[in-house]
Amino acid sequence: MTKKDRENGIGVHARRIIAYAVLIILTFLCLIWFYILIINATRSNAELGRGFTPFPGKYMLKNWDSMIHSTQPILYGLRNSVIVSVCSAVLSTYFSTMTAYAIHAYDFKLKKFISTFILMIMMIPSQVTALGFLQLVMKMKLEDNYIPLIVPTIAAPVTYFYLKQYMDSTLSISLVEAARIDGAGEFKIFNTIVLPLMKPAIAVQAIFTFVSSWNNYFLPALILHKDKLKTLPILIAQLRSADFLKFDMGTVYMTITFSIFPVIVVYLLLSRYIVGGVQLGGVKE
């Protein structure tokens, strides 16, 4: 082994050590907040007032019981958030994939304009259209209803853009044409060929859409007024705004911890499709 080869080997080894060190630091910075949250969920309101400690407290069960029997219907909020988030994730990813497929696989007039127009909509903040949207909801008498929270997620420009970019690099038009020659209909091609190929991208966007809908406070707070129909972010905010005599920070931390677990479960369920897609993409013909 020459001196140059030894120097290259040492350089690669050093870069690998630096990369692992940076990844460990980033992992620590990402996970430390979850650790602090879980620790605080096991402590009483008085202990939290005295500052942070890295050791868990003895009030986890008491905080859990306080959360379940609080003035806010937390379990109803969990159910409501799951309904809204799951439906939003499914509809958003399915119809965004369908839109991306239509623009990718078909040639028609105004194709470039429609694609550009969809991207232009990404530039419009949702808060700008909130007043008009709320007036429409009131005219349609859809307050205290999940339809205004679920149906608009079908039109998701960001989801469409990501799926279209992935489709351009993954889905070959010749594959679609071969399926057409074999006599497959357009819906069958989309559901049996396109969707399986798009699983990694769909899984990523389903996670993002689920988390975005799960954490959404702005629109649900405007539309939902009955306590048993409210989602978890609204109920957590109401717990924090309770009067001083009834306020218990331990219960709030327990509720926030409780609200995070469904997001983790969704990620664990969908992450295998992401990993599987990466492994499949790494195999060369």
Mean pLDDT for the chain overall? 83
> Of the candidates 251, 234, 232, which has an alpha carbon nearest to the alpha carbon of residue 40?
251
What's at 36, amino acid-wise? I
How far apart are the C-alpha atoms of 276 and 159, rounded to whole Å?
20
Q: What predicted TM-score, i.e. pTM, was given to this entire model?
A: 0.82
> What span, in angstroms and rounded, lies between the C-alpha atoms of 109 and 196?
29
pLDDT band at 10 (very low <50, low <70, confident <90, very high): low
Has residue 285 got a pLDDT over 50? no
Which residue, among 77, 84, 45, has the nearest Cα to 236 in the 3D structure?
A: 77
* Dist CA 46 CA 66 (whole Å): 15
The secondary structure of 264-281, three-state, reads HHHHHHHHHHHHHHHHHH
Q: Check whether 1 has a pLDDT greater than 60.
A: no
